[in-house]
């Protein structure tokens, strides 16, 4: 801030170019003229709809974070595994236009890779809180007997997941899983994958369908 006792033509009052002249307690001074705030452009309906879809997909993906963090780690080049999963979910699993967004659960992917998956995979509810998986081990040389099964149960009503990574080995050919008691009686979307013990290889996930609910 520059003070002026008299100036060339005396004290300046009012705006002069980029400065404003005024007097405070009898002391003339100059200050920078306040910059006009640029008006924000009104966003279009399409832009607002896209923002809402992004928020929707983000919230949908949150319960899957522990699993996609493993499932997409090898595709996370200059991005995170969650970013990879988000892109797939945004473009494939969520359709429609806000506020009429629809989730196609069959299109949700929790892992992607070239490790062979489980053969002839079947699931069955064997109790109100227990799900059973059965599969064939096969004899593919690209697999390992100690490959780890990944199971994910998603409850849309609660927006929660339950499951495991490493709760069963490939050569076990079956497993029983007692899921969260809060899931009892509710519809559950089921996903399965398999990863090598050292996590260096992973299979493409499989959607087994829906169990439970009415």
Can you give the pLDDT at residue 10?
A: 63
H helix or E strand, kind and range, residue 60: helix 45-61
Q: What is the pLDDT of residue 45?
A: 87
CB 94, CB 60: distance < 8 Å: yes
**What tens-digit pLDDT sequence spans the chain (214 residues)?**
455 555 555 666 667 667 777 776 566 766 777 776 667 788 888 899 999 999 999 999 999 999 999 999 999 888 999 999 999 999 999 999 888 999 999 999 999 999 999 999 999 999 999 999 999 988 899 999 999 999 999 999 999 999 999 989 999 999 999 999 999 999 999 999 999 999 999 999 999 999 998 6
Position 32 scores a pLDDT of 75
CATH class (in words) of the domain with range 45-211: mainly beta
For residue 137, what pLDDT is reported? 86
Q: Nearest-CA neighbor of 111 among 203, 207, 209? A: 203
Integer Cα distance of 195 and 80 in angstroms: 19
Q: What pLDDT, on the 0 to 100 scale, is given for residue 180? A: 97
Q: Token pair of 156, please?
A: 């849309």
């Amino acid at each position: 801030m520059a003070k002026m006792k008299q100036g060339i033509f005396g004290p300046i009052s009012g705006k002069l170019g980029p400065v404003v002249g005024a007097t405070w307690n009898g002391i003339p001074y100059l200050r920078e003229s306040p910059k006009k705030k640029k008006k924000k452009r009104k966003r279009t309906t399409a832009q607002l709809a896209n923002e809402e879809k992004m928020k929707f997909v983000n919230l949908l993906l949150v319960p899957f974070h522990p699993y996609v963090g493993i499932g997409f780690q090898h595709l996370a080049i200059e991005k995170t595994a969650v970013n990879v999963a988000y892109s797939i979910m945004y473009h494939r699993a969520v359709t429609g236009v806000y506020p009429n967004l629809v989730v196609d659960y069959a299109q949700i992917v929790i892992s992607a890779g070239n490790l062979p998956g489980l053969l002839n995979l079947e699931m069955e509810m064997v109790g109100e809180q227990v799900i059973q998986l059965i599969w064939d081990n096969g004899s593919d040389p690209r697999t390992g007997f100690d490959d780890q099964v990944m199971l994910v149960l998603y409850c849309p009503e609660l927006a929660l997941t339950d499951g495991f990574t490493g709760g069963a080995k490939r050569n076990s050919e079956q497993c029983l899983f007692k899921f969260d008691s809060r899931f009892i009686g509710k519809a559950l979307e089921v996903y399965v994958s398999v990863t090598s013990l050292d996590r260096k290889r992973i299979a493409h996930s499989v959607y087994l369908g829906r169990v439970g609910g009415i």
